């Protein structure tokens, strides 16, 4: 199935993409990414969190023309950076990433204590906007099991906030699916995954999850906050005047 994304009559039509999503529902992630590559070519950007290596590996092998973007918040666990390097080794060559950082005026500080929404805005939301600027489609790693805000996520949708087609190839995956894929392809695991961290973000705002807790209970624990703002339908918190993102194209060796 091929859709011409340059036709304005369908590109931003939510009903059109709902129909496309229905046709792709239940298909393997490999098929969804192959469709994305055929449909959008190099006009794709995939954002990866390196919570695991599955999406980076899938994109590299099934949509190699896509730009792979990683949002460096300045607060990633050391173990997350280890997984970046381990994934590169597994791929057997340089992993080209576009690493997006906050602007030079945004330094590591404790803004996350008093203003977690503002912290996410300058460290994640604004850089994502730069990554998506001028792109036709966005590949994400969200899954329905992540929580109520993602439980109804489709395989493909029009994201009016960012003005792109949003593609969620892993959306139907369970934890067993993820584990099975990692095992089948001999992918490295995030070291924190076996220490009670089913969802991994920035170290100040991520804690282990206790038995019986929701898988995202360790994110912003104790706060009325469950999302960083990347996947919200409406515009998020104003990032402020000092939040211009810096995009750095690097080759991780």
pTM: 0.82
Q: Does domain 8-252 have CATH number 3.40.50.12640?
A: no
pLDDT beyond 50 at 99:
yes
- Measured between alpha carbons, how far is 44 from 104 in angstroms, rounded to an integer? 27
CA atoms within 13 A on the CB side of 14: 4
Q: Compute the 3-state secondary structure of the chain and give helix, strand, coil in percent, each to the nearest 5.
A: 40, 15, 45
Higher pLDDT residue, 11 or 20? 20
Q: What is the largest CA-CA distance in the chain?
A: 49
Higher pLDDT residue, 20 or 229? 20
pLDDT in tens, 133-146: 999 999 999 999 98
DSSP E strand boundaries for 72-151: 95-101, 137-139
For the annotated catalytic residues, the residue numbers are: 228
pLDDT in tens, 180-238: 999 999 999 999 999 988 888 888 888 888 887 777 676 655 555 555 555 565 333 33
Question: Given the structure tokens 């969200």, which residue do they identify?
Answer: 142
What is the reported pLDDT for 248? 40
Q: What is the mean pLDDT of the chain?
A: 82
What is the reported pLDDT for 239? 27
Domain boundaries, the chain: 8-252
Distances (CA, A) of 80 to 39, 77, 95: 31, 5, 15
Q: Which residues of 12-35 are buried (b: 16+ CB within 10 A; e: fewer)?
A: eeeebbeebbeebeebebeebbeb
pLDDT in tens, 108-134: 677 766 678 888 888 888 889 999 999
Would you state the structure tokens that stand for residue 232, as one six-digit string?
Answer: 């919200």
């Amino acid at each position: 199935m091929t859709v011409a994304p340059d036709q304005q009559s369908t590109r931003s039509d939510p009903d059109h993409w709902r129909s496309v999503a229905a046709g792709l529902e239940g298909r393997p992630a490999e098929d969804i990414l192959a469709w994305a590559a055929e449909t959008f070519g190099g006009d794709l950007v995939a954002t990866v969190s390196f919570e695991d290596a599955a999406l980076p590996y899938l994109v590299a092998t099934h949509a190699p023309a896509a730009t792979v973007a990683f949002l460096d918040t300045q607060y990633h666990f050391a173990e997350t950076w280890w997984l970046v390097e381990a994934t590169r080794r597994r791929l057997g060559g340089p992993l080209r990433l576009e690493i997006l950082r906050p602007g030079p005026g945004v330094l590591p500080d404790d803004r996350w204590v008093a203003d977690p929404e503002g912290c996410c805005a300058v460290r994640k939301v604004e850089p994502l906007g730069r990554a998506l600027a001028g792109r036709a489609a966005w590949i994400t790693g969200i899954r329905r099991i992540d929580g109520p805000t993602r439980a109804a996520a489709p395989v493909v949708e029009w994201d009016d906030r960012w003005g792109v087609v949003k593609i969620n190839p892993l959306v139907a995956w369970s934890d067993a699916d993820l584990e099975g894929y990692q095992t089948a392809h001999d992918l490295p695991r995030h070291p924190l995954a076996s220490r009670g961290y089913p969802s991994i973000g920035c170290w100040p705002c991520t804690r282990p999850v206790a038995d019986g807790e929701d898988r995202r209970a360790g994110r912003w624990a104790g706060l009325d906050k469950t999302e960083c703002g990347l996947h919200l339908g409406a515009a998020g918190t104003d990032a402020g005047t000092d939040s211009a993102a810096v995009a750095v194209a690097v080759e991780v060796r």
